Amino acid sequence: MTTIQKQSTNPIAHLSPEDIEELGRELDAIRQSVIESRGADDAAYIRKVIDAQRKLELASRAVLLLSMFPPAWLVGTAGLSVAKIIENMEIGHNVMHGQWDWMRDPKIHSTTWEWDNASPAEQWKHSHNELHHTYTNVIGKDNDLGYGIMRVDEEQRWHPMYLGQPLWNFINACFFEYGIAAYDLELGKNLASEKRRRSPAFRARAKVTLKKIRNQMTKDYVVHPLISGPSALSTLSANFTANLVRNLWTHSVIMCGHFPEGVETFEKKSIDGESRGEWYLRQMLGSANISGSKAMHFMTGNLSHQIEHHLFPDLPSNRYAEVAPQVKDVFDRYGLTYTTGSLPKQVASAWHKVIRLSLPNGFENAPLATVTALTTKQGRRELRRRPAA
């Protein structure tokens, strides 16, 4: 992958500024159709999911009180893993996006929600909703690109340190919730200098994060094992396993959102004065979907509809599946590539990129971009801001 501005075949060269604004209007219309039909059924959906998730968690933790018996360990751990995944993805991530704010229910609201994760909601909302969703795939602005620890673009200068990035990525996957917390704190940047380390704002945020981590760890690794009595150790291992499963799963799903081959990145200066249509276009090119069953979509918190989520981050997640064909149609008509694939394929693609870019450029004869089959318009006009290359 290389920033779209430096590719030999610019995948948006065939679009005029008017085309891009028209595309924006079409996407606005899709968004509006969902907003107008949003109602009691959607509210019932999220309440049902929250209700079921909490009961599943309660039941799993109850079973784990007897976790010294292997079948109980297995059932309880599986249930708790699923409950934690649903809580983080279909509920927490989406509620914190404000997808359910329209219900005006103070208990299911972006301003009040706290999730079962090491990163405090406040900090997650800043780094994810604000930075990642606004500056999606803009090199130097969107820290989700490699989380600041990996080389994910040919244009990032290679350094021997990156040889280890497949390993870093695996470790990050196992302890993903702490990776997210560190990332939300911008630890790399904030620990780099004495001045930043001592900054009261950073120290205050770090304190909040440490308190959250302490509460989370006390719950899973002290309190629940203790109330399991003789099953204390096996409950501890069950809770650790559930957190590990949740971490590996969420990491895999999230890697599929922006890392697979075919996803475009953008130069920092390319977003100066960006219009609504251009913002939409960047989201379209910068995200990738995962295809699969209803159950798979649900377990990814509908982040399998990453493209739709990035176009409409505040629409209720249960509606992404319904707008996906309309969005795909817009891609087709404007000659853009709708990047999608099965979970194994996309995970492999993302890992392939992590491994490939751990080596210097040109080490492997991979294509720079996989953009193919672009339609070419007659009498095409230049983009408003001509690509640098």
Partner 1 sequence: MTTTRIPWRNRATRFAETVTTPLLPADYLDLFAPLRSGAALRGRIEEVRPETADAATIVIRPGADWAGHTPGQFVRIGIDVDGVRLWRAYSLTHGPRTDGRISITVKAVPEGVVSNHLVHASRPGTLVHLEQAAGEFVLPADGGKLLFVTAGSGITPVIGMLRNLFPVTDSGVVRLPRSDAFDITVVHVAPTEPDSIFLDDLRALADVGAIELLARYDDVHGVLDVADLSALVPDVDARISYACGPAGLLDALADHHERRGLDLFTEQFRSTNRVVGEGGAVTFNNATIVEADGATSLLDAGESAGQLMPSGCRMGVCFGCVIPLKEGSVRDLRNGEVTTAEPGDGVKIQTCISAAAGPCHLDI
Q: Bridge partners of 265?
A: 3
Residue 55's contacts (CB-CB under 8 Å, 6 or more residues apart) are none
Decide whether 141 or 352 has the Cβ nearer to partner 1.
141
Under a CB-based contact definition with an 8 Å cutoff, are residues 268 and 138 in contact? yes
Binding string to partner 1 for residues 138 to 177, with x set by CB under 8 A, is what?
A: ----------------------------------------
Decide whether 131 or 245 has the Cβ nearer to partner 1.
131
DSSP 66: G
Binding string to partner 1 for residues 314 to 353, with x set by CB under 8 A, is what?
A: x---------------------------------------
Minimum Å gap between C-beta 386 and partner 1 is 24
Q: How far is it between the farthest Cα atoms of the chain?
A: 77
Which tokens is 248 given? 């590996």
62 lines the binding site for partner 1 (CB under 8 A): no
What DSSP assignment string belongs to 110-163? TTT---SSSS-HHHHIIIIIIIIHHSTTBTTT-TTTGGGTS--STTSPP-GGGG
109 lines the binding site for partner 1 (CB under 8 A): yes
DSSP 230: G
Decide whether 44 or 368 has the Cβ nearer to partner 1.
44
Minimum Å gap between C-beta 337 and partner 1 is 23
Which tokens is 70 given? 């292997």
Among 84, 125, 297, 319, binds partner 1 (CB under 8 A): 125
115 lines the binding site for partner 1 (CB under 8 A): yes
Residue 344 CB-half CA count within 13 A: 0
Minimum Å gap between C-beta 178 and partner 1 is 16
105 lines the binding site for partner 1 (CB under 8 A): yes
Which one, of 262, 245, 282, lies nearest residue 341 by Cα?
Answer: 262
126 lines the binding site for partner 1 (CB under 8 A): yes
- Of how many residues is the chain composed? 389
Which residue has tokens 């770090």? 206
Which tokens is 58 given? 């309660």
Among 18, 51, 364, 382, binds partner 1 (CB under 8 A): 51
Decide whether 98 or 292 has the Cβ nearer to partner 1.
98
- What residues numbered 216-275 form the site for partner 1, per CB under 8 A? 216, 218-219, 223-224, 227
What DSSP assignment string belongs to 266-323? B-GGGGTT--HHHHHHHHHHT--EEE--HHHHHHTTTGGGHHHHHH-TTS-GGGHHHH
Residues found near partner 1 in the complex (CB under 8 A): 28, 32, 35, 38-44, 51, 54-55, 58, 96-98, 101-105, 107, 109-111, 114-116, 125-126, 129-130, 133-134, 212, 215-216, 218-219, 223-224, 227, 276, 279, 313-314
